[in-house]
Structure 1
């Protein structure tokens, strides 16, 4: 059986493993097909393809991206898989997203400095390296300052809504992301739908509007997940005629979350890989 992990991150966004480290770990964990889906950037894709070829890894890479979007009061992430990373429409959208991400990071830094937390922006920028600065980098910088024990604590105390470091996002709308992914020849997927802290009524509304806008799939399976949740999401994928995807949303190794771990789809779900398999046969 082919092992798919279709949601992962590198140091080109907020992952902690380099491209090489991620690919080697995927191979060690028996992953056959891996998608790299960094936040609002495809910068890892070419280095990943090069590394796989040069090291003859037995691993199929799917070119991907995770685009942040605004839908009502929610920040919804849309994963694009099997995309042409050079398509002008996708490139232009990601450039816009990156500019918004940078502006948001600068404003977060200003607000933290104003409240007495100096040097956090500069440290977050160091931690990000060549990647875009994310809130995870700010969180790591604040943990270093000893203001909280872990990243989750920082988000709760500083970066959540109505906290001193919170800056509202200005992401594109969901339809814009779907259109860019489609133009680039890819399949669009609602990422981790159970994480948005919305009622089932709102979740159904999201999936309905996503589908109406041309969305094609939703994530159903993740490593740390109750069987009942996985079954429910599988039922929703069938109800809204969406392909089902599976992915670890891997950022770094954890005891309960790793590449390829506990990833399988409920019975009767249509795997999203059928999308690019069909295109390869054409």
Structure 2
């Protein structure tokens, strides 16, 4: 028996990338929130999947193995949620290893750019915040706050790390069409993540979604966290026009009021079906 759509969350993060909870704790929290089917989608890595898989089995959760894959489109970073319903393939592991190296290069490049701006951080400081794993921008933000360069995480992104700032390094990512080609070759099911989160005009957002579909993208995150009903309806209409399947999720990173908990997202239209049912 398949779970109901609102019992599914296909976009969750753990300490394997920039989340605050270990993978097993994410599984337990999701179960407490009434989630029965979910995907762990850490940024450009599968490092948390083994731990998540064991916890999901203990909790009788359906875990779809995944990753949030970084790429470029017209000069901006775009995220693709890639899922492997039958389990991660060997070629997917190889692609993830390349992405991890790209992330290490990006981290070093961010350090260089911050140093030129008069903020000399060290890689060891950043990696410590990432628990020894490849660091992301939230880990840079933690160190910037602790060293007094900014007052809080939000200011770190507004001044140094957000889109268009010195820490927004994109040069190491594949272009979206190439990323989709590589992911599809690994048997991934490819979803355009949170299309409403990118700082785009409505017309340019439509161009992004059409470009994604034209390059072989298979689904779109219709709902990501909290959003307006009218926004959901607009995305649904476009997805239907382009033949894109539907996904959704909280984009959970950490407990607390600033981040939606697993399963905490806007109302889903009747057209949404659990992915295990859709991909069976």
Considering the TM-score relative to the shorter chain, is it more than 0.5?
yes
Distance 2:132 2:8 in 1: 28
Aligned match of 1:238: 240
Deviation for aligned residue 1:266: 2.0
Deviation for aligned residue 1:121: 3.2
Matched residue SS, 2:77: strand
Distance 1:156 1:224, change over 3 A: same
Aligned match of 1:13: 17
Matched residue SS, 1:46: helix
Q: Which moved more, 1:167-176 or 1:135-144?
A: 167-176
Distance 1:146 1:247, change over 3 A: same
Show the 5 A alignment for 1:18-37. Answer: 18-37=22-41
Deviation for aligned residue 1:164: 4.3
Whether the aligned pair in 2 keeps the contact of 1:178 and 1:214 (CA below 8 Å) is yes
Q: Which moved more, 1:126-135 or 1:155-164?
A: 155-164
Show the 5 A alignment for 1:88-237. Answer: 88-160=90-162, 163-237=165-239
Deviation for aligned residue 1:278: 5.1
Matched residue SS, 1:224: coil
1:240-272 per-residue CA deviation (whole Å, 9 max, x = no partner) reads: 1111111011100232611101354224x3536
- The CA RMSD over aligned residues, in Å, is 2.0
Distance 1:64 1:171 in 2: 18
Deviation for aligned residue 1:196: 1.0
Deviation for aligned residue 1:84: 5.5
Deviation for aligned residue 1:148: 1.9
Matched residue SS, 2:220: strand
Aligned match of 1:247: 249
Aligned match of 2:89: 87
Distance 1:277 1:271 in 2: 7
Matched residue SS, 1:193: coil
1:14-39 per-residue CA deviation (whole Å, 9 max, x = no partner) reads: 01100121111011111111100011
Distance 2:186 2:52 in 1: 19
Distance 1:182 1:59 in 2: 26
- The number of residue pairs the alignment matches comes to 275
Distance 2:26 2:65 in 1: 14
Q: Does structure 1 residue 261 correspond to structure 2 residue 264? A: yes
Scaled by the length of structure 1, what TM-score is found?
A: 0.89
Distance 2:201 2:166 in 1: 27
Distance 1:178 1:169 in 2: 17
Distance 1:110 1:66, change over 3 A: same
Aligned match of 1:51: 55
Distance 1:270 1:30, change over 3 A: closer
Whether the aligned pair in 2 keeps the contact of 1:27 and 1:58 (CA below 8 Å) is no
Deviation for aligned residue 1:83: 4.9
1:75-95 per-residue CA deviation (whole Å, 9 max, x = no partner) reads: 111111235654243223222
Matched residue SS, 2:78: strand
Whether the aligned pair in 2 keeps the contact of 1:29 and 1:260 (CA below 8 Å) is yes
Distance 1:106 1:215 in 2: 31
1:108-137 per-residue CA deviation (whole Å, 9 max, x = no partner) reads: 112323433233533211001132111111
